[in-house]
Amino acid sequence: MLNIVLFGPPGAGKGTQSEKLIAKYGLVHLSTGDMLRAEIAAGSALGMEAKTLMDKGQLVPDEVVINIIKSNIDTKPYAKGFIFDGFPRTVKQAEALDDLLNNIQKPIQLMISLEVEKAELIERLLKRGESSGRSDDTNKEIIENRINEYNNKTLPLKDFYKLQGKLCPINGIGSIDEIFNSICQAIHAKVS
């Protein structure tokens, strides 16, 4: 079992690197951003509540994402491992995830933290917004809100995982393949 938290600010490359990690290690991808966008597309009450917050660049309530993650873990007892992409984003979410995984004796082994500076993040997200249709990617002010939410609420998680000896910082600037190779080296160093 290989359980990884893929961490980083909005636009750091979490979704991009997740795809490559899934292909290489056969892990189950759990992206709370994707799950929330699926709820929005389905027009559910949960999705409508999430959309109001996401469109402003704010985090959705902890209880909402914790419940989504819990139901996904519960329905995949035979998974070879999970990539948590964009989750946890607050200390409360990280504590809830530890509880869920400790209950099944499959704790997080490492937290890959993609390090990318703010100007590069804004450029990447505005570029993606030109084609993705994501309403949170088209406006610089909203992108800055997302980065502020990250700095205020999510960044403290680096210390949370560092204290557990699980933090692996990775330079998130460079080609997608170069970054992927660095991630794979960090995984092998940690789990072999």
Catalytic site residues?
Answer: 14, 89, 128, 134, 146
Q: Which is nearer to ligand B4P, 54 or 110 (CB)?
A: 54
CA 22 to each of CA 62, 119, 121, 164: distance values in angstroms, whole numbers, following the listed order: 26, 28, 23, 24
Residue 12 interacts with ligand B4P (CB under 6 A): yes or no? yes
The DSSP line for 69-98 is HHHHHHT-TT-S-EEEES---SHHHHHHHH
Stretch that binds ligand B4P, among 5-13, 97-105, 158-166, 182-190 (CB under 6 A): 5-13
Of 51-90, binders to ligand B4P (CB under 6 A) are 53-54, 57-60, 65, 86-87, 89
How many chain residues touch ligand B4P (CB under 6 A)? 27
| Residue 133 CB neighbour total at 10 angstroms | 9
Distance CA 133, CA 124 (A): 14
132 to 161: interface string for ligand B4P, x by CB under 6 A:
----x---------x---------------
Residue 176 interacts with ligand B4P (CB under 6 A): yes or no? yes
Distance CA 130, CA 153 (A): 28
Q: Which of 187, 33, 178, 3 is nearest to 102 (CA)?
A: 3
CB 143 within 8 A of CB 57: yes
Q: Which is nearer to ligand B4P, 133 or 192 (CB)?
A: 133
Q: List interacting residues with ligand B4P (CB under 6 A).
A: 10-16, 32-33, 36, 53-54, 57-60, 65, 86-87, 89, 93, 124, 128, 136, 146, 176, 179
